Amino acid sequence: MLKDITLGQYFPVKSFMHALDPRMKLLLTLLYVVALFLVSDFWGFLVAAFLIGLVASFSKISLKVVFRGLKPLVFIIMFTAFFNVLYGGGEPLFPQIEWLSWIKTDGVKNAAFMIIRIILLILGTSYLTYTTSPVMLTDALERLMRPLKIFRFPVHELAMMMTIALRFIPTLIDETDKIINAQKARGADFETGNIIRRAKALIPILIPLLVSAFHRAEELADAMECRCYHGGAGRTRYKIYSLGWRDWVALGAMVLSFAAIIMLRIY
C-alpha cells in the first residue's frame, strides 16, 4: 500500500529528539549536511555515523524503520555508484581479469564514499522529518528565513503553502488508496497490459483524485477566509519557541562532531 512509504513521514512519539526546538533541529541538520561534505576519509564518516547512532537512540525510532525508508532510493544510489566507478581513475582493481579492467581503485573508493555519504545524508534528514511535525518544520523555516523579508521575499506565504502541501500529502495518499480500491472492486486492472493500457488505466484514479483535490482546496480557502486569514501581516503566534537545556546539549554534541571532522580533514 502507498501508506507504507515511510520516507519523510513524521512519527509522533515522545523523545529527547522530538522535544528539541525545531529551529535548532533545522540548524543542526544543516550543520550535519555541511559536515558530511567536508568529510575526506572514512574516519570522518565514522564520526557522522556515531552521531546518527546517538540520534537514533534518543529518538525512540529504530534505525531499522529508517533504513526501510531507504528502499525506494536503492536504485538512485546504485546508479550514482555505478557512474563513480565508471569515471574513476587509478589502477585497475582486478589486473588479471581483462573484461573488468574498467573497475579502477579510485573509482571504487569514490563510489563507496558516495554511497556512504548519500546514505548518511538521507538518514540524517530522515530523522529530522521523523521527529518534527510538518507544521513545526515549516514554522521553523519561516523563522529562520525571516531576515529575507527585507528583500520583500514572501516568507510567510511560502511557509503557509508548504504547511498546507505537507498537511495534505497523507490525506491525498489515503484518498488515492481508497479510489484505487474502489476501482479495483469494479474490476479495474492496473497491473497487466502494455504501457498505453496501463496509462489509460490511471484515468479512473486521476480524475476522482483531481476532482476531490480541487474541492478540498476550495473548501480550505473558504474556511481560512471565514476565520479572517489575510496573509502574514500582523499575525501573532500561538506557540512561542524557546531554547532549553536539550537544545544546548544537542548543539554541543554537534559542534564537537563538527570540530572532529574538520580536525580529521586537516591532519
Partner 1 sequence: MIKTEHLSHFYSVGTPFETVAIEDINLHIKKGEYVGVIGHTGSGKSTLIAHFNAILKPTSGKIFIDGKDLWSEDKKQRIQTRFDVGLVFQYPEHQLFEETVYKDIAFGPKNMGLSEEEIHRRVEKAMRFVGLSESVLEKSPFDLSGGQKRRVAIAGVMALEPKVLILDEPAAGLDPMGRDEILGRIREYHQETGSTVLLVSHSMEDVSKNADSILVMNRGRCQMHASVPEVFERADELEKMGLDVPRITRVFFALQDKGYPVSRNVFTVEQGKAEITRLLKEGGKNHA
Alpha carbon distance 67, 170 (integer Å): 21
Alpha carbon distance 179, 162 (integer Å): 25
- Closest approach of partner 1 to the CB of residue 217, in Å: 16
Alpha carbon distance 23, 28 (integer Å): 9
Region binding partner 1 by CB under 8 A among candidate stretches 202-210, 222-230, 235-243, 252-260: 202-210
Contact assessment for residue 13 and residue 133, using Cβ atoms and an 8 Å cutoff: no
- By the rule CB under 8 A, 80 interacts with partner 1: no
DSSP annotation of 14 reads -
Tell me the one-letter amino acid at 78.
Answer: M
C-alpha distances (whole Å) from 68 to each of 112, 173, 174 are: 20, 19, 20
- By the rule CB under 8 A, 8 interacts with partner 1: no
- By the rule CB under 8 A, 175 interacts with partner 1: yes
Rg of the chain on CA atoms, in Å? 23
Query: Which of 3, 146, 200, 235 touches partner 1 (CB under 8 A)?
Result: 3
3-state secondary structure of 188: coil
- Closest approach of partner 1 to the CB of residue 225, in Å: 24
Pick the closer one to partner 1 by CB: 64 or 230: 64
Stretch 203-222 residues interacting with partner 1 (CB under 8 A):
203-204, 207-208, 211-212
- By the rule CB under 8 A, 169 interacts with partner 1: no
Note the residues at the interface with partner 1 (CB under 8 A): 3-4, 6, 11, 13, 61, 65, 68, 175, 178-179, 181-189, 203-204, 207-208, 211-212
